[in-house]
Amino acid sequence: MVTSITSFGRSGLYDWMMQRVTALVLLTYTVFMIGYLLLNPDMGYAQWRELFDGTVMRIYTLLAILSMVAHAWIGMWSVSTDYIKPTGARFVFQSACGLLAFIYVVWGVQILWGI
DSSP letters for the chain: -PPPTTSSS--HHHHHHHHHHHHHHHHHHHHHHHHHHHH-TT--HHHHHHHHHSHHHHHHHHHHHHHHHHHHHHHHHHHHHHH--SHHHHHHHHHHHHHHHHHHHHHHHHHHH--
Residue 71 among known ligand-binding residues = yes
- Taking the C-alpha atoms of residue 103 and residue 69, their distance in angstroms, rounded to an integer, is 10
Residue 45 among known ligand-binding residues = no
Q: Residues annotated in the binding site for a ubiquinone, as ranges?
A: 83
Q: Which residues are annotated as a binding site?
A: 71, 83
Summarize the annotated binding site for heme as residue ranges. 71
